[in-house]
Amino acid sequence: KTGAAEAVSLVLPNLKGKLTGGAIRVPVCDCSLVDLVAELKNEATEEEINAAIKSAAEGELKGILAYCDEPLVSVDFIGNPHSSIFDALSTKVIDKKLVKVLSWYDNEWGFSNRVLDLIEVMRKKGI
């Protein structure tokens, strides 16, 4: 069990009761992997899923979400400042509505960068 899955419903209340998660502890330095399987309302292809994530990573989530289409491994993501690095090569769609995606993150560094972002927002608002 992982607290990350529970935290999602705090940020996205419409997902409460619709997802669960687990954590597998492996001997790698501070790099983690989200393995998300979801049943979609509408049909989608791997290309459509990847295009939507890439668009978000280049748009409203730039600097928070990264898009990766290279064959990298966990050690390659250590020190990456993004909260999540989407692994486009791992996207799978089954029966047009069941999707599996993977996303990497540096368990310490990505979080630390979001704290810095928050401090900057507070500074700009004079808080």
pLDDT at 66 over 80: yes
Q: Give the pLDDT band of residue 31 (cuts 50, 70, 90).
A: confident
Is residue 80 within 8 A of residue 109, CB to CB? The reply is yes
pLDDT at 72 over 90: yes
- Domain ranges across the chain: 31-124
Distance (Å, whole) CA 18 – CA 13: 10
Q: Give the pLDDT band of residue 79 (cuts 50, 70, 90).
A: very high
What integer best gives the mean pLDDT of the chain?
90
The CATH topology of domain 31-124 is Dihydrodipicolinate Reductase; domain 2 (3.30.360)
In what helix (H) or strand (E) does residue 113 lie, and over which residues does it extend? helix 109-124
Under DSSP, is residue 65 helix (H, G, I), strand (E, B) or coil? strand
